[in-house]
Amino acid sequence: MSDEPPNRPISAEVAAHAGAWATHIPNAEDLVARAAVAAVEAIPEADKPAGPLSLSLVLADDETVRTLNRDYRGADKPTNVLAFAALEGDSPEIPGEPVELGDVVIALETVLAEARAQGKTAADHLTHLTVHGTLHLLGLDHQDDTEAEAMEGLEVRVLAGLGVADPYAEAAGGAL
């Protein structure tokens, strides 16, 4: 029996709903697809659903994220990233079809403002938010200190593999 993980397809579909993404981060679509796949691959096989996996990434503007945040979370304000997990509850797996992990939606203006305020590049902050949102799709959370420590540690490891510095380091400006 091999210790190698199975070679499973992971599909990260990216849609840019705000045209300004390409102006500010020209390779945003490639960055988020790569970051999402890296985050999924970092999760132990035993903690992932069986079979091919799929998720969607939406590069949106603050107004779109504000509307989603209001409608689904009751907070009438934009936020940097929203994750809508499809695996919550009893989602049926269809044989031969990829298991849908859910959707990650990221707000352009908030990403740019936070990156500026934290002294990070917009590309690095976008990569971090993508990893963070993708890990939420896989059931990780930060509701208490133990969960937060585990999730942040995994984020730091995934980001290091993508060439992004520790976003939680003091000099980096802190947390999300």
Question: Does 17 belong to an annotated binding site?
Answer: no
Write out the H or E segment, with its range, that includes residue 117: helix 108-118
Query: Measured between alpha carbons, how far is 32 from 151 in angstroms, rounded to an integer?
Result: 18
Length of the chain measured in residues: 176
Question: Does 24 belong to an annotated binding site?
Answer: no
Look up tokens 């994220």; give the residue.
Answer: 65
**139 closest CA partner among 71, 81, 72, 86:** 86
What is the separation of C-alpha 127 from the centre of its chain, rounded to a whole number of angstroms? Answer: 8
* Residues contributing to the annotated binding site: 132, 136, 142
* Residues contributing to the annotated binding site for Zn(2+): 132, 136, 142
